[in-house]
A and B are shown apart, each in its own frame.
Chain A
């Protein structure tokens, strides 16, 4: 190293410049080029149309419309068809036997309405008498 150190010791700035300018220079790895170009190609190809701002706005509008539609359908379903006795909520709720105990004191008309509630079905010609009998039996603990 003595010879090299002496050279540096006596080396002027211009000589040092020339020396550095003549030295080989580093280059980036070849794999880096491939990675960058393939990433560029991938980035360009996979960007779908709906990622563009205009399409995104349209997508938001469509989603909102779907939401409104769903809410409307749900609201209509909760409202339900109006039964002939006008108690749609009760129509969906089964009536327990002990709740029919008071039937024994009521007239047939009320019992019939309760029977409809219990069956959850619109008025029909057949089965009411049997249904009523069944309810009354239940109410009386039979």
Chain B
């Protein structure tokens, strides 16, 4: 699905051109098909973004589910101008809600935190480095992680990140630079990989 595609939940149709237009009525089953298309297009990015914010697979999955339930619930309330921005904002809101509940658990089990990197899928020679990066990333502040995942994992430009998160361009850039610098410092200080928590 192209970026900035518009999705009308009333009809289930995705508008692939900017600008307003008339919408037809959704036929039976069309909503599910369009929702599946949106899920397939955005779920991976949203999931990794949520992992960057929440550092827990279970929480990220819960939040992802709520994002799409919210999208469906939004039917009948007009079209969505920028679907990508809408989805990421919804994901961020869900993540904030979960983080409020998560804070206490986070202190108790920091070893369970993980990032968007799939260590198990890495080549053997890169696996140990990937493991260290995966362990150190959750130690960065959440606001730096969310910019880093969008840049390093999803390949967005700083301008796109700033627009998506509603930040000034300079803020998005500086958060990324600070995050990368801190990550590098943590990795340099990390000892040999023994298990979780070496960072």
Q: Evaluate contact between B116 and A13: CB separation under 8 angstroms.
A: no
The answer to whether B188 touches A8, judged by C-beta atoms less than 8 angstroms apart, is: yes
B interface footprint on A76-106 (CB within 8 Å = 1, 0 otherwise):
0000000000000000000000000000000
- Is A23 interfacial (CB-CB < 8 Å)? yes
Map CB proximity to A onto B23-51 as digits: 1 under 8 Å, 0 otherwise. 00000000110011001100110011001
Alpha-carbon separation in the docked complex, A7 to B128 (Å): 12
CA distance A53 to B191 in the complex (A): 63
Q: Which of B47-89 contact A (CB under 8 A)?
A: 47-48, 51, 57, 60-61, 64-65, 68-69, 72
**Quick one: which of A24-58 are within 8 Å of B by CB?**
24-29, 32-33, 35-37, 39-41, 43-44
Q: Are A8 and B187 in contact (CB under 8 A)?
A: yes
The reply to whether A23 and B72 contact each other, CB–CB distance below 8 Å, is: no
The chain B residue with its CB closest to the CB of A32 is B61
Residue of A nearest to B47 (CB): A28
B54 nearest CB across to chain A (Å): 12
Q: For B116, list chain A residues within 8 Å (CB).
A: 25-26
Picked from A7, A11, A40, the residue with its CB within 8 Å of the CB of B68 is: A40
Q: Contacts A8-B190, A32-B65, A35-B65; is A13 near B180 (CB within 8 Å)?
A: yes
Please give the number of chain A residues whose Cβ is less than 8 angstroms from any Cβ of chain B in the complex.
Answer: 31
Interface contact A40-B128, CB-CB below 8 Å: no
Q: Tell which of A14-22, A109-117, A123-131 binds the partner.
A: A14-22
User: Is B132 a contact partner of A23 (Cβ separation < 8 A)?
Assistant: no
Considering the complex, give the chain B residue whose CB is closest to the CB of A41: B32
CB-based nearest A residue for B121: A24
Could you tell me if B192 and A23 are in contact, using CB atoms closer than 8 angstroms? no
Is the Cβ of B64 less than 8 Å from the Cβ of A25? no
Q: Is A1 positioned at the interface, with any CB of B under 8 Å from its CB? A: yes
Complex-state Cα separation, A9 to B51, whole angstroms: 27
- Nearest B residue (CB) for A16: B184
Taken residue by residue from 1 to 12, chain A's Cβ proximity to chain B (1 for < 8 Å, 0 otherwise) reads as: 110110111010
What mask results when residues 97 to 109 of chain B are scored 1 for a CB within 8 Å of chain A, else 0?
0000000000000
Q: List, in ascending order, chain B residues with CB within 8 A of A4's CB.
A: 128-129, 132, 193
Chain A neighbourhood of B40, CB < 8 A: 33
Q: Is the CB of A33 within 8 A of B133?
A: no
For B192, the chain A residues whose CB sits under 8 A away are 1-2, 5
Cα distance A39–B62 in the bound complex, in angstroms: 13
Closest chain A CB from B31 CB (angstroms): 6
Judge whether A36 and B65 touch: CB under 8 Å. yes
B18 within 8 A of A: no
Q: Are A23 and B47 in contact (CB under 8 A)?
A: no
Instruction: For the complex, give the distance between the alpha carbons of A36 and B43 in Å.
Output: 11
Bound form: Cα–Cα A7–B188 in Å? 9
Known: A26-B116, A27-B47. A36 touches B188 (CB 8 A): no
State the A residues within 8 Å of B (CB): 1-2, 4-5, 7-9, 11, 13, 16-17, 19-21, 23-29, 32-33, 35-37, 39-41, 43-44
Cross-chain pairs A/B with CB under 8 angstroms, 15 sampled: A1-B128, A4-B129, A13-B181, A13-B184, A21-B152, A21-B153, A23-B122, A23-B130, A24-B122, A26-B48, A28-B61, A32-B43, A36-B65, A37-B32, A37-B36
